[in-house]
Structure 1
Amino acid sequence: MRPESNEALYSLATTRTPDPAQVGGKGSALIEMTRAGLPVPPGFVLTTGFFRPWLEELRATAEWNAFVAAVGADEPSDEELRKRTADLEAACEDLSFSEPQQRQLSEALEELRDPESPSGPVSGSGLVAVRSSAPQEDLVGASFAGVYESFVGITAGNLREAVRAVFVSGLAFKVVSYKRRRGFDPLQVEIAVVVQQQVDSESAGVAFSLNPQNNDYDEAVVHANWGLGETVVSGSVGPDRFIVDKPSERLVEKKPGTKETSLWSRPEGGSVQAHDEHGNNGGRFALTDRQAVQISRMVQRVETITAVPVDVEWAYGSDGTLSLLQARPVTTYFPLPAELRTAPGAPRRLYADSTLLEEGLHEPLSVLGSRWMADAIVEMIRQATGRRISTQDGDGLVLTVGGRWYMNVSRVLWLGRQRLATSLEALDVHAAQVMRNVEVQRYRKAAAQPKVAKIAGLAWGTLTGFAGPVGTMLAGVAAPDRARRRYEAAVERHRRQLAEVARQARSVPELGDGVLMPAVHLLMREGLPLTYAAEAAKALLRLLYLGAPSRQRQLLDAAFRSMPHNITIEMGLALYRLARSLEESVGEEGYADLTALARRIETRELPEQFLREWDAFMDRYGFRGPNELDLASVRYADDPMLALEQMRQYVLLDESTQERPGHAYERRQRERREAYRKLLDGTRNPVTRWLVTRLYRAAETFSGFREIHKYHLVMAGYEVRRRALQVGGELVERGRLDSAEQVFDLDYENLHGGFDVSEPDLRARAHSNTRYRREIARTPGAGFPVLVDSRGNIPRPASTAAGPGVFSGEGVSTGTARGPVKVLSHVGEKPVLPGEVLVARATDPGWTPLFVNAAGIVLETGGSFQHGALVAREYGKPCIVGIDKATQQVSDGQLVELDGEAGTMTCVARTPSPGR
């Protein structure tokens, strides 16, 4: 029976298209590449069906039952899983090839060795390579690279044992562990095996269709060594490295490797290792420049066929022929939204991710949430400059794509790299470091300086548009109490207006448009000018004491700390009081079952005093929660569990060793007021004293307003969220959506007309709208970079000379701390216990309760004005920002020391995590 007609075995040259579930990721890719005419050595795939009799036999054993029980345990230990997988591997010794299996394997091998066959050999070695090809292997989101066994130099005589060994490797602990980490079912152990004619290679290695170090789509990277490619794949040598600019086919980098060892085929089977005692084979490269470019062309063809970035294994035979040995998707790159990309070779643009810089959001917003924020940005710019911009123009100043909003830095590069870096400093230290290291020349063609007339028109629109806000700012400095009353009256009008618009709006788009303009008006015309008033007052106070003794300047700095009226700090304190009130009713043990607690709150079965406090909290803060700028994010009022999980953080607080948040807040207020009193007592000039009193009153009244603007914007957005969920529920009842929450995967255009939207298949529209979100989800760990260019290149900061185990960032809250690490990707992932050091990419107001227990905070992104820094300073916790890939550099339980003054995190040792 010919291989391509047998479901247990497929030739790589088959004309059929087998199901990847039969031939696995590697086998499927090799069949596709062979069909495309790429130089793939001939071979065949033993499908999952070939091994089904073995699996059925194995599943009938006691060892399999013990393995199933271990995997099904709530928290199986690594030791238990190691034992059970070792027992399974031992049980495989009893597996034998059946007569049909032996016949199929022999026939396929004979055809592979037949020079007259269409799939005949490319060399006369007669040896084959045997590799795994599991259905879950070589996927876009999971490569399983190096997890399964593979063998080279296999003769016909030892082929069966090699096939058996590859099959058994699918049951090994490292495979089970990888599956558990990546969300695959460990009990799904089906495997296929590729048997391929081995190339007697002079040089071999791997190649990437993008540069994995900087994510550049236009750079192919080739790693090479002499002999077989296994030394490069395993990482056992330092290979030669070539970087090729794909559009121009120009070699842009050529770096020799150490190539200390190499692996060579033996004619009788197996391989032999050769050592280079002098290093680097006398300075010779394993490839010529022409060969490196030829490999680049081949990897580009593979990328075009698969439509995703790929890495391939290649080999040059002794006859100089290039072969493609395998291809798989790259799993750890950042997929740049198509709307931001320019064509290969075209002038590049540079973008800054403002979603990360300004709000610390490291997940893409929902479709509806992204539309809401895009409209908000357009309205803010219109009210600031009098001009309405498009956020969909790739060459515009601001773009909203892929659930993010970006600033086109290329448009403002004419301001100068250093000036731009300085402007980024307060928002994100890491971004500022990156900006200082950007190759500005690369983006010159897309960074034309705007015309004088355009700048003048923009300046005039800004000046005329801000005449009113400037007056509000000056009033805030001169008469802060009166300005505060005026602002509170504006807030009350805004609340009434929100309620009125919510009653009258007939659709989600109409409501979104109706609440947006007044919300932005309150921010731009009323609230933001008062924040500027506080900053102006502070600047004038610093000017007054510019030449004063250092003691007075220190008192002034102390008088600026822990300013009142910060809505986020007030929310944290209110949540703490709520947690303690509930503890008085149910005890600390009552927090053990949060689901039961939530049910008791919903059914009003708790003491009246607590329920009144709960209602008051929800009335003031219920529309808030983690990732609150996204309309799709659940809020406190939506799910009591969200608040209860954070309240439990406060109950974990050991008040015998840690100060209560309320007490700490009052202490810092007293210290601030005392510093101000001493400053005033030491100021002798009566005119200066009068000025200081007036200016400090403005700074004290409005410094905390920095977070109030987001509060009111989120309040308006929550009205849109509630209406969207109502519409979503109606569409579910009408059979047009699967869940009410799926409405957030739709845009305004899909929702015009309320329930009677015209589009027939909203499920398909929702699926289409979320394509990029799924693409991001398939590349875990890539993360959103703070700066990226239009060909995917991610600029990096200049390297810093830190000692072993020392990571340098920027200290934005002083103090020192020592404790075990707790790495979090989102709120609620796991508790932060007292004394642990919280390490995260970024934070927003929903993270505030976690800061109470944390001994210190480390963030990959952020600056001195971002939320995390403000809260850390308020709580008196050391906080360091700008440590690149901090969440990957340390792990739970690792003991670290933070120095908020020096901005360093030092790894001390590893201790068991006290996680709960």
Structure 2
Amino acid sequence: MRVIPLSETSADMVDLVGGKAAGLGELIRGGERVPPGFCVTTEAYRSGVIPQAEIVYAYERLGGGPVAVRSSATAEDLPDASFAGQQDTVLDVTGTAELIAAIEKCWDSLHDARAAAYRDAHHIDHDAVRMAVVVQRMVAAEVSGVLFTANPVTGCRTEMMVDAAPGPGTAVVDGGAVVDHYILDGSDQDGTGCLATAQLAELRGAGERLQRHFGCPQDVEWAIDEGGTVWLLQSRPITTLFPLPPDTDKPLPRVYLEFGHVQGMLQPVTPMGMSTLKSLVAAMLAALGIRAEIVGIGGRLYGDLTDLARSRSARRRLVKLMAVDFGPRAQAVMQQVLADPRFAPSKDRPERRRGADGASLRTAVRLVVGVVRALARPDAARTRMFDAIERLKLRSAAPDGLRTAVERLRFVQAQESASSPDDIVSPIVAGMLAAALPAHLLKGVAREDEIHAVLRGMPYNVTIEMDLALWRLAERAGDHRQLLLHTPPDELAARYRQGTLPDIGLAAFLDTYGHRCAAEVDLGVPRWDEDPAPVFTMIANYLRVTDPEQAPDRRFARAAATAEATLHQLVARARRRRPVRGRLAGFLLRRARALTGLREAGKFAGLYRLREMRRQLLSVGVDLTSTKLLDQPGDIMFLTLDEVRDAVHQNVDHRQTVASRRAIHQRELRRRTVPVALLSDGTDLEAIQPTLAAADGALTGVGAAAGRATGPARVVHDPATAHIEPGDVLVTATTDPGWTPLFLTAAALVTETGAVMAHGPTVAREYGIPAVICVPDATRKISTGQIITVDAATGTVTIH
């Protein structure tokens, strides 16, 4: 079939008629008013010859006259790729000669530069895409526009948005005219501008029908002719919306705070990793006195803080608690929530949980005692901590006797419920308190950047030690510099596994740090000892450092010396002006230098357990692959433990489930921004906050590591492939410890999320490089190569 009527197309014919025609066919089948037309299918495109006779026949049956000719590629109007404006549309085409030329123009647009770039950005195979073409009778539009069945700016699913302008719809979609803008929230709409009240109501009704029919929010093009008839010209999914929170039977609205950035990751978590990460975050929150239900939204971790926001007792401390680890963006949205009358405090109704309350009290008492001990004798606390980590490492190893999938699964389930010993938790909490309290004690005496300076060059940090160990490895590998600099990392990793790579000391490094990686808290992500390619990328970046003064070990030593000198000056000044507070602040700052570096150790220890769980699950995956229940062992990471249990015990085939989840995961991997807070109706709370303009066009964030630096920007989305030159300013959405080797050669750090005490800023301070965090859309507003200045004192990033 090379030419078929639109009325015969449907959603299951995308490969033949493309996304646009398939969507129009569904509209017709649903009884909507659509201009009649036909589709020149992909079979004609494959042959490369326009079927002129069939097209002329279909055009004449349509009655001739002016028609709209529009592209309808197979990769178009998809759930995660709209291709809006990427391929050609030709309007007011009259006559067969013009029609044939317009169809050829649409065919050619499939491979023009803008469409190819769009496919590259969405990882769509160029060779797999085919072009169909839609031909429809032109509507003589008196007014036209676009209807979104959910608010595309805020994400709110209870609002629709309409943009309208007199004349054809190109005035709206091309951005070439002033449009009338309407928000439809279910209340009566005033018919101002080019649309009457009844027309707005008719559009809202159409939107409700289409959303029900397609099962997701829609982007709808429409036109109203001179007789007042509404025609639907297109309906496709809104591709930019962040997924909704899961359904709940709790009172609405709910507010959800994103927790992934606390662990330095905004990429989606695999289904297998989600359950483990939920437990980890819940334990972290419990240590801060926060009880919250942890849910997955779009593969990211969110906490339901609604009950805390509505609690008279909890809401008083909620904003302050956000400052500990969640950062200024979280603080701002939480203040916004507390001011919202829908989250007004209600009478607290404590649950009767005597056993749980008693256990919580005992845990709290143990924690307080442990913190006091650590502050009193930090050296002894460190010794106890590292002894506990070594014991945990040994306990994490699987016993030799595991042979069957059932035994391995039982081991994984036991590891999932394990908790961190008090000797690991207490020194970390003590260090965090010691670092956070001096800022309050020294108000009016010390500047914030001075206190940050004291926290530079921090000892006893396992992540810093890892980065410096990798630097020493790179120094020793100088004889193989050309090989390591000019061979692709994947090839180097393959040669290492084959045993054909010169010995550069990598085996010893991986023996100590191979259980780490970027996004390491996700059980579904390969560790460095599985895939060392990212390590070779970092080694190459280190080998580009040629200035001895920029050597990371020297920079770290300078940062430590500056910190000690600043501490001495600060304490002396504080004791002169406020003797009691000065002594207490001096004590805490010294304890901070003794304990705050331990913050990374708790996570470092927990990763031993995750690595062993991953190893055993992959072995189970091998068994399930051999029995044709999975296609490959790694697919097991797209299942839950319960689903793996069903596969192991009941031979349940999960291959279709895995394929669906992989596709969603790949789509979410391409998402560059994640809402810091959501309402249950999908509203992105930051999107409805008033924005403040920065002075002189600078981007505004929060200074998190003291200093000022200017250099070329290097926008990085994946540390495994990052090419960093010495002096580059690293610009990224967020960071975790797997990113920190890049800091050794960077001049400064800029992130879109984070907290002052989060991993990235902490390590930046310890290396002595300035950092500005929470800069909205930094990775989009800054381009690689632009010269930028990062000023932590003012919390700004200036593009020159």
Which of 135, 140, 146 does residue 195 from structure 1 map onto? 135
1:755-783 deviation per Cα after TM superposition (whole angstroms, max 9, x unaligned): 94323313234345557535635xx4363
Alignment of 1:158-177 (within 5 A): 158-177=98-117
Q: Which residue of 2 aligns with 1:533?
A: 430
Superposition pairs of residues 465-476 of structure 1, within 5 angstroms: 465-476=363-374
- CA distance in 2 between counterparts of 1:172 and 1:13 reads 30
Aligned to 2:252: 347
Within 2, Cα distance between the matches of 1:418 and 1:691?
26
Displacement of 1:858:
1.1
Q: Once the 2 structures are TM-superposed, how far is the Cα of residue 679 of structure 1 from its aligned partner?
A: 6.5
Q: TM-score, normalised by structure 2?
A: 0.89
The structure whose Rg is larger is 1
Structure 2 Cα separation of the partners of residues 875 and 422 of structure 1: 28
User: What SS does the aligned partner of 2:256 have?
Assistant: strand
Partner amino acid, structure 1, of 2:515: F
**Cα distance, 1:324 vs. partner?**
0.6
Please show how residues 509-520 of structure 1 align to structure 2 within 5 Å.
509-518=409-418, 520=419
Question: For the structure 1 residues 586 and 781, does the alpha-carbon distance in structure 2 shift closer, same or farther, using more than 3 Å as the test?
Answer: same
Q: 1:402 to 1:500 in 2, by over 3 A?
A: same
Distance 1:197 1:482 in 2: 82
Taking the aligned partners of 2:398 and 2:72, their CA distance within structure 1 comes to 61
Mapping for residues 91-102 of structure 1, pairs under 5 Å: 101-102=51-52
1:606 Cα deviation from its structure 2 partner: 6.5
The 1:25–1:354 alpha-carbon spacing in structure 2 relative to 1, beyond 3 Å, is: same
Distance 1:139 1:669 in 2: 53
Deviation at 1:664, TM superposition (A): 1.6
Matched, 1:664 2:555: yes
Contact 2:402 2:408 in 1 (8 A): no
Q: Which residue of 1 aligns with 2:678?
A: 788
2:466 corresponds in structure 1 to 571
Matches within 5 A, 1:747-826: 747-752=640-645, 756-767=648-659, 772-773=664-665, 776=668, 780-781=670-671, 783-796=673-686, 797-803=689-695, 805-826=697-718
SS at match of 1:521: coil
- CA change 1:458–1:861 in 2 (3 A) is farther
Distance in 1, matches of 2:658 and 2:281, equals 24
Structure 1 residue aligned with 2:228: 320
Structure 1 residue ranges without an equivalent (≥5): 1-6, 57-96, 115-125, 255-283, 390-395, 909-916
Partner residue, 1:586: 480
What is the percent sequence identity of the aligned residues?
A: 30
Q: Deviations over 1:186-212 (max 9, x none)?
A: 456742222212222211111111111
Q: Which moved more, 1:826-835 or 1:225-234?
A: 826-835
Corresponding residue number in structure 2 for 1:903: 795
Deviation of 1:43 after TM superposition, in Å, equals 1.4
Give the structure 2 partner of residue 911 of structure 1. none
Checking the alignment, whether the CA contact within 8 Å between 1:487 and 1:527 is kept in structure 2 is: yes
CA-atom RMSD in angstroms: 3.5
- Is 1:46 the counterpart of 2:40 in the alignment? yes
Q: For residues 440 and 217 of structure 2, what CA distance do their matches in structure 1 show? A: 55
In structure 2, distance between residues paired with 1:826 and 1:317: 50
Which of 526, 529, 536 matches 1:644? Answer: 536
What SS does the aligned partner of 1:405 have? Answer: strand
Taking the TM superposition and a 5 Å limit, the aligned residue runs for 1:295-444 are 295-337=203-245, 339-340=246-247, 347-356=252-261, 358-377=262-281, 397-400=293-296, 403-414=299-310, 420-426=318-324, 427-438=326-337, 440-441=339-340, 443-444=342-343
Per the TM alignment, residue 622 of structure 1 is displaced from its structure 2 partner at its CA by 1.2
Which letter does structure 2 place at the counterpart of 1:38? Answer: E
Q: Specify whether residues 224 and 876 from structure 1 end up closer, same or farther in structure 2 by C-alpha distance, changes over 3 A only.
A: same
**Aligned-pair distance for 1:369?**
1.1
2:637 corresponds to which residue?
Answer: 744
Which residue is equivalent to 2:147?
207
TM-score computed with the length of structure 1 as normaliser: 0.79
Structure 2: distance between partners of 1:197 and 1:15:
17
Q: CA deviation at 1:17?
A: 7.5
SS where residue 113 of structure 1 aligns? coil
2:396·2:608 contact (CA, 8 Å) conserved in 1?
no
Alpha-carbon deviations, 1:108-167, whole Å to 9, x = none? 2232229xxxxxxxxxxx432222222222222222222222232233364333333333
1:430·1:860 contact (CA, 8 Å) conserved in 2? Answer: no
Unaligned runs of 5+ in 2: none
Q: Distance in 2 between matches of 1:16 and 1:556?
A: 64
Indicate how the Cα distance of structure 1 residues 641 and 397 shifts in structure 2: closer, same or farther if over 3 A, else same: closer
- Between 41-50 and 555-564, the greater mean CA deviation after superposition: 555-564
Displacement of 1:704 after TM fit? 1.0
| SS of equivalent to 2:793 | coil
Cα separation, 2, equivalents of 1:832 and 1:149? 39
| Equivalent-residue separation in structure 1 for 2:522 and 2:423 (angstroms) | 24
Cα distance, 1:317 vs structure 2: 1.3
Q: Which residue of 1 aligns with 2:30?
A: 36
Deviations 1:93-116 (A, max 9, x none): xxxx6xxx44323332232229xx
Match for residue 143 of structure 1?
82
**Distance in structure 1 (CA, Å) of the matches to 2:360 and 2:67:** 72
The residue type paired with residue 254 of structure 2 is R
Between stretches 742-751 and 369-378, larger displacement belongs to 369-378
Correspondence for 1:8 among 2, 5, 23: 2
Match of 2:180 among 230, 233, 240: 240
> 1:717 Cα deviation (Å)?
1.0
* 1:444 to partner: Cα distance: 2.8
- Spell out, residue by residue over 1:814-868, the C-alpha distance to the aligned partner (whole angstroms, 9 max, x if none): 2222222222222123312222221111100010111122222111100101111
The residue number in structure 1 matching 2:387 is: 489
Distance 1:837 1:693 in 2: 33
Q: Which moved more, 1:696-705 or 1:842-851?
A: 696-705
Equivalent position of 2:523 in the other structure? 631
- Give, in whole Å, the separation in 1 of the partners of 2:408 and 2:297: 21
Q: 2:607 aligns with which of 714, 718, 739?
A: 714
> How many residues align structurally?
789
Moved more, 453-462 or 412-421: 453-462
Asked whether the equivalents of residues 418 and 436 of structure 1 are also in contact (C-alpha less than 8 Å), the reply is: no
Q: Does structure 2 conserve the Cα–Cα contact (< 8 Å) formed by 1:349 and 1:443?
A: no
Instruction: Kindly provide the CA deviation profile for residues 205-234 of structure 1, in whole angstroms up to 9, marking residues without a partner as x.
Output: 111111111111111111111122111121
Give the structure 1 partner of residue 56 of structure 2: 106
Change (3 A) 1:546 1:577: same
